[in-house]
C-alpha cells in the first residue's frame, strides 16, 4: 500500500516537473515575435507567459489531456508507474534541449514516451489515432507557412492601408475568440460553452433563428467590436496601434498554448486521478497550470530570446502574420483533442512570415537552426519511446509493476 501510494506521489511530482518544463519551453515561443519586434521586453514577456498560459491550461486543457491519457494505447489502463516513466522521460529530454537552446517539441516527446510506456505495460498501438495525429502534424508546416506568408505579404503591401488590413485580421480573431470552448463557462448538453454561446442564451438570440445562427450572429458582433476598437487605435497612432495589436495577439496565443500544452503533462495521470485518487480532472489541470506558471516565470526568457533572435527577426507586421495562423491551428488541435508541439506551430509561422523579405537577408530565417530543430523533432519522438519503454521496465524491476 505504501509502495503504491509512493508511486502515485512520484507520478504527481513528475507531472508537476513536466508542466514546469512545458511552461519553460513550449509556452514561451508565442511571446517571441512580440519580443523580436521590440513591442515587449523579454522579462515582461516571461511574466505574462506564466500567468496567461496557466489560465489557458485550466480553461482549455481537458481534450488533449484525455487523448494523451486514454487514446494512444489500447487494451491497458495507464498505471502510476507507467505515467511516471512517461513524464520523467519527456521532461528530462525537453529540459536537456531547453538548456542547449534548442526548443524540443513537447508533443512529439510526450507522445513517443506515452506510447513507449503503454507498450511496455502490455498495450497495443492505436494506429487509427496515430494516423489522424500524424496527418495533422504534417499539415501544420504547410498550412501555417502558407497562411503566415500570405498574411505577411498582405500586411507589408504598401497599396493596402494598415487601417484596413489590421482591423480585418483583428475582427477575424475576435470572432474566433468568441467561439472557443472554455471550461468555466456554462455549457448545457448539446450547447456552446463559449462567450458567444453564453451571450446567445442570455439574450435569447437563438429564438430568432436557431442556436447556431444566434452564435454566429453574436460572434460576428464581437468581431466587429474588436475590429472597430483596433481601427480607432490605428487612427490615433498607427505605430502604437500595431504594437498594441501585436501584444494582444501574443497574449491570445499564449493562452491557447497553455490549453494545448498542459495535457502533455496531465494526460498520463488521467486514469490515476480517476481510479487511485477519485478526483475530477479539473484538479489535475490546476496542478498543470501551477507548473506552467512557475516554468514560464523561471525558465522562459532564454527560449523567448532563442526563438525571437535566432530563427527570424520579425517586424511588428510579420509578427502579427505569424500569430494569427498559430492561434487558429492550435485552437483546431484543441477542438480535435490532438496533441501538438507549440514550438513547431510557432516556428512554422515565423518561418513563413520571415520569408517575406528574403531568407538570405539579415531579417530572414536561419536555415541551419531550422534544420537542427527538425532533426530534434524526429529524434525526440523515437528516443522518447525507446527511453520510456526501457525506464518502465527498470522501475518495474525495482519497485514491482505498481
CA-based nearest residue to 259, from 15, 13, 12, 19: 19
Q: How far apart are CA 344 and CA 377, in angstroms?
A: 9
CA-based nearest residue to 171, from 231, 241, 246, 213: 231
Is pLDDT of 184 > 80? no
Q: pLDDT tens digits for 309-332?
A: 654 467 788 888 989 999 999 999
Q: How big is the CA angle at 36 (ends 343 and 229), to the nearest 5 degrees?
A: 95
Cell numbers given for 62: 481537458
* Residue predicted with more confidence, 9 or 73: 73
CA-based nearest residue to 151, from 307, 364, 324, 34: 324
Q: How far apart are CA 290 and CA 19, in angstroms?
A: 8
Q: What is the pLDDT of residue 2?
A: 43
Q: Which residues pair with 205 in a beta bridge?
A: none
Coil, strand, or helix at residue 74?
Answer: strand
Is pLDDT of 169 > 80? yes
State the chain's mean pLDDT as an integer. Answer: 82
Cell numbers given for 20: 514546469
Coil, strand, or helix at residue 313?
Answer: coil
Backbone angles phi, psi at 71, to 5 degrees: -105, -5
Please give the C-alpha separations between residue 76 and each of 33, 69, 129, 131, in angstroms, as whole numbers. 42, 11, 16, 20
The whole-model pTM stands at 0.84
* Half-sphere exposure of residue 238: CA atoms within 13 angstroms, side-chain side: 8
When mean pLDDT is compared across 123-127, 338-342, 376-380, 386-390, the lowest value belongs to 376-380
Cell numbers given for 17: 516537473
Compute CA 13 distance to the chain's CA centroid, rounded to the nearest angstrom: 22
Is pLDDT of 74 > 80? yes
Q: What is the pLDDT of residue 225?
A: 96
Is pLDDT of 286 > 70? yes
Residue 263, judged by CB atoms within 10 A of its CB (0-12, 13-18, 19+), counts as: buried
Cα-trace Rg, the chain: 21
Q: How confident is the model at residue 1 (pLDDT cuts 50, 70, 90)?
A: very low
Q: How far apart are CA 149 and CA 321, in angstroms?
A: 7
Q: How far apart are CA 276 and CA 34, in angstroms?
A: 43
* Residue predicted with more confidence, 104 or 205: 104
Is pLDDT of 167 > 90? yes
Instruction: Tell me which H or E stretch contains 125.
Output: strand 124-125
* Residue predicted with more confidence, 302 or 178: 178
Is pLDDT of 274 > 90? no
Whether residue 106 contacts residue 97, with contact meaning beta carbons closer than 8 Å, is answered with: no
Q: pLDDT tens digits for 149-160?
A: 999 999 998 888
Amino acid at each position: 500500500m505504501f509502495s503504491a501510494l509512493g508511486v502515485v506521489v512520484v507520478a504527481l511530482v513528475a507531472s508537476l516537473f513536466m508542466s514546469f518544463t512545458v511552461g519553460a519551453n513550449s509556452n514561451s515561443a508565442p511571446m517571441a515575435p512580440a519580443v523580436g519586434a521590440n513591442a515587449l521586453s523579454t522579462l515582461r514577456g516571461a511574466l505574462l507567459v506564466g500567468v496567461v498560459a496557466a489560465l489557458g491550461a485550466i480553461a482549455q486543457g481537458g481534450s488533449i489531456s484525455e487523448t494523451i491519457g486514454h487514446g494512444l494505447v489500447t487494451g491497458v489502463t495507464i498505471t502510476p508507474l507507467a505515467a511516471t516513466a512517461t513524464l520523467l522521460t519527456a521532461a528530462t529530454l525537453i529540459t536537456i534541449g531547453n538548456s542547449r537552446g534548442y526548443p524540443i517539441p513537447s508533443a512529439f516527446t510526450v507522445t513517443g514516451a506515452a506510447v513507449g510506456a503503454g507498450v511496455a505495460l502490455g498495450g497495443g498501438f492505436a494506429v487509427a489515432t496515430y494516423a489522424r495525429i500524424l496527418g495533422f502534424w504534417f499539415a501544420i508546416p504547410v498550412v501555417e507557412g502558407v497562411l503566415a506568408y500570405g498574411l505577411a505579404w498582405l500586411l507589408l503591401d504598401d497599396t493596402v492601408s494598415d487601417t484596413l488590413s489590421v482591423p480585418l485580421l483583428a475582427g477575424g480573431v475576435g470572432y474566433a475568440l468568441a467561439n472557443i470552448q472554455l471550461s468555466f463557462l456554462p455549457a448545457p448538453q448539446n450547447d456552446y460553452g463559449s462567450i458567444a454561446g453564453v451571450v446567445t442564451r442570455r439574450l435569447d438570440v437563438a429564438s430568432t433563428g436557431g442556436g447556431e445562427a444566434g452564435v454566429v450572429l453574436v460572434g460576428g458582433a464581437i468581431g466587429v467590436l474588436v475590429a472597430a476598437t483596433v481601427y480607432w487605435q490605428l487612427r490615433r497612432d498607427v505605430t502604437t496601434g500595431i504594437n498594441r495589436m501585436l501584444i494582444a495577439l501574443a497574449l491570445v496565443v499564449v493562452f491557447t498554448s497553455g490549453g494545448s500544452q498542459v495535457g502533455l503533462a496531465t494526460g498520463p495521470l488521467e486514469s490515476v486521478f480517476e481510479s487511485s485518487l477519485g478526483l475530477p480532472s479539473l484538479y489535475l489541470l490546476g496542478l498543470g497550470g501551477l507548473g506552467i506558471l512557475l516554468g514560464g516565470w523561471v525558465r522562459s526568457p532564454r527560449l523567448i530570446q532563442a526563438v525571437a533572435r535566432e530563427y527570424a527577426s520579425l517586424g511588428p507586421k510579420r509578427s502579427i502574420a505569424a500569430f494569427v495562423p498559430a492561434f487558429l491551428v492550435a485552437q483546431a488541435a484543441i477542438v480535435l483533442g490532438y496533441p501538438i508541439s507549440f514550438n513547431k506551430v510557432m516556428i512554422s509561422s515565423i518561418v513563413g512570415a520571415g520569408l517575406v523579405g528574403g531568407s538570405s537577408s539579415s531579417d530572414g530565417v536561419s536555415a541551419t537552426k531550422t534544420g537542427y530543430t527538425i532533426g530534434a523533432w524526429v529524434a525526440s519522438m523515437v528516443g522518447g519511446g525507446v527511453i520510456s519503454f526501457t525506464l518502465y521496465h527498470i522501475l518495474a524491476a525495482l519497485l514491482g509493476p505498481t
